[in-house]
Each structure stands twice: as structure tokens, then as C-alpha cells.
Amino acid sequence: MLYSFYEMGRFALTPWRAAANATRQTLRAPWNSYGDTLAGRTTAAAADLFESMTRRYGKPDWNLDPVEIDVQTYPIAVDTIWSKPWASLVHFKRQGLKADQPKVLFVAPMSGHYATLLRGTVEAFLPDHEVYITDWSDARMVPVNDGRFDLDDYIQYVREMISATGPGTHVVAVCQPGPPTLAAIALMAEDKDKNRPASMTFMGSPIDARLSPTVPNKLAEERDLSWFETNLVQTVPPPYPGVMRRVYPGFLQLTGFLNMNWENHVDAHWRFFNHLVDGDGDDAERHRTFYDEYLSVMDLSEEFYIQTIKDVFQEHRLATGTMECHGRKIRPEKITDVALLTVEGENDDISGIGQTQAAHTLCASLPESMREDWVQPKVGHYGVFSGSRFRAEIAPRMKAFMAAHAK
């Protein structure tokens, strides 16, 4: 019922949003001199803030700028090269450029946000890599007759998408996908799959969530599964294609993220309001760019969400050697020739220090020459894969590691 009430509330605000939008446009019209007064700018800013805070944000576009290489620019085409009901594999094709540079596949999180959350990550690699990314489906848009999707299916999907990129790809799992991606590569290694990757990089991932537990980790351990099923899992209402599917709604996930840093988000919106009043368009646009992405959320299937809580955050099955995928035991020690890089943020409040590093312990058969660990100073969770320190320090380190272990 909560999902239905949420949708009713959103629809009830539609005329108010329309009025706010009309007010904003009228006050900012070039012929309206009142819009230039302090009162006019304040009213327009308030209308802008109301509209942006009550809007339903859809799936963002990639909007990637052409990449410049050796003084020439190459437009980016977003091509889907593999697709199933629950995910697509996207290739960012640099038009007019021969595809002969190293391949990197980013396994995007399926934890409430769309793959476009990694737009900055993708942009950092486009000048010198063939870039691919997993684009997970919004559960409310997947019809019930397309079947279930759990953590085992996720592992299988990741394996298939790695195979679709061909041998020698460098795989990067950002946050949540760490455990299932490591599981997929372990299966490929055990099967001596010719398409297994050249390297694997895990960034801020809960490989072993027992280490340096954070607020989300503690919540998962303090509650039993029935609490999550009763309080957080909802039924998709009409008119969505996934009507009657049981999901963990994106708006609940977003509420949790906002509450973790409530004061910061309130301060950010207050600054946004003042930027609008003062006519500081650049800072206001930076706020819009960030929150247009941050507030765009997707639903997760019930079975994927509950199994992830159980296997990753409660029973720690990968870390304890008891994880299985469709009846097969996951054996990270079978990985012998896929180089391993782990990256963590010093101030990460979602995946604590040591949780990602645990991959080194699990991949016991890898020689030291194929391992590297890096803790980035002065960054939190999102700073691990985006922002100035990522571009200046983390991305170059990742590229150097990939080059050193190319096949």
C-alpha cells in the first residue's frame, strides 16, 4: 500500500508543480521587470526549489561530450550490444576511431541508482579505453511474466556480459557488485573460460562487510529478514509494466541515503536557493547536475534485494566460503591469472576500510605480483569513483595497473 500512497501523493502534487513551473517561467521572462527585483528573484527561486524537490526523476541520459584524442574530437555513440529483460550491456563507441585500445567493463551498482551514476567514471576512461557498462533494468518496468531475478541470476548476467566483451577485458566493479562480480570471475576461472578478464578492480565494495561495519551494515545485521520483507518490500502499482511485482522501491532507498546525511542535503538545497536568488547560474547548474542524477532512482526485485541482505550482509557467505550460484560453490581461490586491484576511500561511510581489501585474502592463489591495494585519502564513498581526486589520482592508478596486466 505504501507504494500506492506514494504514487497518489506524487500525482496530487502535479497541479502545484505545474503552477510552480509557470511562476518560475513567468518571473524569468525577459519582458517581466518584476523578475529582476529581490522579491521576484526570491519567488522564482522558491518555485524552482519546490518543482525540483517534488518532481519524479526518470532515467537520465548519458549526455557524453565528444572525446578529444590527438587534437581530434570523436562523438560518442551509446550502443547496446547485449540485452536481456533485467540488463543491457552498453558500449560507448567512439565514432570514427578504430576500436583497438584496452577494453574496460564497469559493473554498475544495482542498488537504487541508474548506471548513469558512473557517468564521470566512464568519461575518465573514454580517451584511452574501449568502455562498456552494465545497465540494469528498473524492476517496476519489467513485466511479471519476465520472471524472477535474484543474486544468482545477477552473477550469471555478469558472467555473460564479461563474455560478451571478449577475452582480456579489464573488469571494474563499483560498490554493491563487488561480491557477485568476484563470484562470476571465480566461476570463469574454475571453468578455464577463455573469456575471463585480464584484471578485476573492486571499488568501495562489501566483499566482507564484517570489517569496519558502517551504519548500513549494522542495520542489515540488527534486523531479521522478515523486517525487511514487511517494512521495505512493496508491490508495484499500475500503470507500470511491472504491476504486481514485489520490489524494494527506489524512493525508500533514496530516503535512507538522504537521512544518512540529512544536514548536508538541507545545506546544499539552501545554497541552491541562495544561488538562484543571487543569479549565480554556474553554482546552481552544478547543483542541478548532481541532484538530477542523485534523485533518479530505480526499484530492485524483492528476491535480489532479500538475497543480497541475507548472503552479503548477514551471513557473509562469500567471505566465509559458503556462497553458491545455482548450486555451484564459489571458489575465489581458483583465480590464478586475473590481476586484482582494490580501491577504498579513507572516509567511506558505506563500505568501511578493509571490506574491499578482503578480496586479497579470498583470492589466495594469486601471486603478489598480480595484486595491488590503494586507500585514497580524504574521499568518501562517492569520491572513490567520481570527482576531482578520482580523476587526478585514482583513475591514473587504475589505468597503470590495467596496462601492467594487459593480455
- Per-residue pLDDT reduced to its tens digit, 179-224: 999 999 999 999 999 999 999 999 999 999 999 988 889 888 889 9
Residues in the chain: 407
Q: Are 167 and 272 members of one domain?
A: no
Cell reading at 286: 552544478
pLDDT at residue 279 in the model? 83
Reference 389, options 344, 340, 339; nearest CA is 344
Beta carbons of 331 and 362 less than 8 angstroms apart: no
Q: Is residue 246 part of a domain?
A: no
Which residues partner with 170 through β-bridges? 104, 199
β 324-325/300-301 pair status: unpaired
Peptide bond into 241 cis (omega under 30): no
Reference 206, options 325, 322, 350; nearest CA is 350
Question: Which residues, at least 6 apart from 22, have a Cβ–Cβ distance to it below 8 Å?
Answer: none
Q: Are 30 and 144 members of one domain?
A: no
Question: Which residues, at least 6 apart from 112, have a Cβ–Cβ distance to it below 8 Å?
Answer: 250, 253, 254, 257, 297, 298, 300
Q: Are 109 and 166 members of one domain?
A: yes
The Cα–Cα gap between 332 and 98 comes to 35
pLDDT at residue 40 in the model? 84
Q: What is the three-class DSSP state of 375?
A: strand
The Cα–Cα gap between 119 and 122 comes to 5
Q: Is residue 182 part of a domain?
A: yes
pTM over 0.85: yes
Q: Are 9 and 156 members of one domain?
A: no
The Cα–Cα gap between 367 and 373 comes to 14
Backbone angles phi, psi at 382, to 5 degrees: -70, -25
> CA neighbours within 13 Å on the CB side: how many for 13?
15
Q: What is the three-class DSSP state of 345?
A: strand
Our count of domains for the chain comes to 2
pLDDT at residue 18 in the model? 87
pLDDT at residue 52 in the model? 85
End residue of a domain, out of 239, 272, 292: 292
Q: Are 337 and 208 members of one domain?
A: yes
End residue of a domain, out of 275, 292, 309: 292
Q: Is 177 exposed, middle or buried (0-12, 13-18, 19+ CB in 10 A)?
A: buried
**% of the chain surpassing 70 pLDDT:** 100
Q: Is residue 253 part of a domain?
A: no
Q: Is residue 36 part of a domain?
A: yes
Report which residue type is found at 168.
G
Q: Is residue 243 part of a domain?
A: no
Q: Is residue 248 part of a domain?
A: no
Q: Are 385 and 285 members of one domain?
A: no
The Cα–Cα gap between 126 and 72 comes to 14
Q: Are 27 and 143 members of one domain?
A: no
pLDDT at residue 371 in the model? 97
Q: Is residue 251 part of a domain?
A: no
The boundaries of the domain holding residue 117 are 67-223+300-404
End residue of a domain, out of 253, 273, 292: 292
Beta carbons of 329 and 190 less than 8 angstroms apart: no
The Cα–Cα gap between 136 and 59 comes to 11
- The DSSP letter of residue 393 is I
CATH number at residue 84: 3.40.50.1820
Longest dimension (CA), the chain: 72
The DSSP element (H or E) to which 217 belongs, if any, is helix 215-222
Q: Are 276 and 145 members of one domain?
A: no
- Please give the chain's pLDDT, 407 residues, in tens: 789 888 888 888 888 988 888 888 888 888 888 878 888 888 888 888 888 888 888 899 999 999 988 888 999 999 999 999 999 999 999 988 877 899 999 999 998 899 999 999 999 999 999 999 999 999 999 999 999 999 999 999 999 999 999 999 999 999 999 999 999 999 999 999 999 999 999 999 999 999 998 888 988 888 999 999 999 999 999 999 999 999 999 999 888 888 877 888 889 889 988 888 888 878 888 888 888 888 899 999 999 999 999 999 999 999 999 999 999 999 999 999 999 999 999 999 899 999 999 999 999 999 999 999 999 999 999 899 999 999 999 999 999 999 999 98
Which segments of 279-367 does DSSP mark as H helices, in order?
281-294, 302-308, 358-362
The Cα–Cα gap between 385 and 371 comes to 20
Reference 43, options 264, 276, 239; nearest CA is 276
Q: Are 281 and 342 members of one domain?
A: no
Distance spanning both ends of the chain, measured CA to CA = 53
Q: Are 104 and 198 members of one domain?
A: yes
Q: Are 15 and 148 members of one domain?
A: no
Q: Are 48 and 158 members of one domain?
A: no
pLDDT at residue 169 in the model? 97
